[in-house]
Structure 1
Amino acid sequence: MLSVENLTISFRTDEGTITPVQDVTFAVDKGRTLGLVGESGSGKSVSTKALMRLLPRTASLGADTKMHYTAKDGQVMRIETLSDRSREIRALRGGEMGMIFQEPMASFSPVYTIGNQIIEAIRLHRPMSKREARAFAIDMLDKVGISNAGARIDQYAHELSGGMRQRAMIAVALSAGPALLIADEPTTALDVTIQAQVLDLMRDLQRELGMGMIFITHDLGVIAQVADDVAVMYLGSIVERGPARDVIRAPKHPYTQGLLAALPSLDTLSKRLTPIPGEIPSPNARPSGCPFHTRCAQKIAGLCDRKIPREVVPEPGRAVRCWLYDENGRAVA
């Protein structure tokens, strides 16, 4: 349903042009979940905001960027060619693609009730009266697990707990019946119990509604629970992609291996965690060669620090950008 090729995003700044996303390619199939994984600053959120044309005016897309989306009526839309004020982009936002933003407290207006904001989204994309839209909104709040929805609909965001706000945010995203849902770290600020409830809710709603989903997170443990496929991003590039189960069981790229090694587990409670050394570089100070070589314990001197790795296929359905593999995808001895 969604195909993204060579997505490159640049921003004009006072210090010059920076490019936080370079040549990103991925696809999402109907009813399946793609997990986008990486540290803060990897380019995950800005890549998905480009899909809904929510980038600021200082942003521009690369000349080779192509974003094809197949709408619910079968029409193929070229997202990168749409005007920011066109009827097509308004139909795309909410009607075709819904988005759960990272912090619901910042996403809801503090001066309107959550009901006002859900009803507005419903009436933008569905031919309903205010009364019908209100009844539909109450049904959506009930569907996402908010008790006493008829009373909660008239409350403000600050009157709800963190878990309830996140559920209300999901209700807003689903109210127009999107075919593709983008979830930007929807469980980051929640405690473990509420996080599990929200993940179960999203999986159930996806099965019920048949949506495709892009799930953004820095936690491969969450990806193991929700994603069918995974793309691991580092400094604006996808360094590894493939079926989620295969990538988690046998990661190929040193960065993916580092993310998994840094996860706490019951087996390592008495041991120190193994963090990835250093920090992710700034996009305006991008290192030469492989972007990860400054933090990689397996780097090859004279190669990784000089040449950008090409994408190779180590096994069917998998892809990795790393000089530890030859052009046929075999590990270099």
Structure 2
Amino acid sequence: MKTFDLFEDYLRDDSFRRWATDQGTYEDIRFWEAYVAEHPAGEWQKAREILLTLEAQTLSPTDQEVDQGVSRILEDTRPALRKWYRRPAGIAAAVAVMLLGAFWFFRTETAVPALTAVAPTDIVVRAGSTRQLVLLPDGSSVDLQPQSSLTYAATFSTDSLRKVSLTGEAFFEVAKNPQKPFFVYTASLVTKVVGTSFTVRSRQGDARVMVKTGKVSVFRPREASAQEKNTQLTGLVLLPDQQVILRNNELTRSLSVPVSLKNPVHQQHFEFSNAPVSDVFATLEKAYGVKIQYDPVRMKNCYLTASLDDEPLTEKLNLICQTLDASFVQQTTTRIAVDSKGCD
């Protein structure tokens, strides 16, 4: 029986690499499905995420390049990995970044990958021509719009602020934490919330914040230092369906958000009344651009009545699974597997 202690052990295993990228043989699939069933959570998830991230960037590395890239990066970073061993989120993010850099070294003719690092504990996600779902360390979800970028820390530790930086446009669903506000920084505006859903746009000639649920405060970057020292929402506070626009160096509040400015998640209302679980999952897939895998036969009698408007994607799935006595695993940023014994 093979033994795997660290995520690098998985990356070095040919069978795992084939299975993780949907190229496995019958023996690969049989082995790894049994392994995952016995180890539903572990380092294999980080390793698989790294490989799928590479595949998503259309790098298509050869077997030799995989071997060279993995060996080169793991050797260069081994001391750092040992230091971070008890910080799984930091490992996954940092190693995904470093491996992308390794394959960029071997495949210089390929476009620059979307996931890069600006500091050992920072992640930058850049959306290309399509929107991209980003799940943050605190459970918040971000629908990053095309030609936009988001920077955030690999972990939100208990003694640090929840802060992200945005260029472009994104819709945020923030996990509730009144004692630890969430800040979105742009070149001209800063948004502060404790848990709500809203859109921030920061493009040339167009800077605005639009609120779907909850309330947020908006201020200029020069006020950020004072705002970070307290948990209260002060200054210009927006309520649901309100927006603020920066014009002529002044903030102007509007009492409604035009439908034309709303993205799919912003427009979607997650209100379900005795809805078949297939309809619930289809709604989430359309809104977030993800694929939810489940057994439709086993869950054909499962129905949901719930209001999930003010929850991030991860929390929506948690509440759905708790209600239906199910569980889920996030396999990649766009693929989620739900396991259920069914509803009698």
> TM over 0.5: same fold?
no
Please report the TM-score for the alignment, with normalisation by the length of structure 1: 0.29
Structure with greater contact order relative to length (CA < 8 Å, sep ≥ 6):
1
**Greater strand proportion:** 2
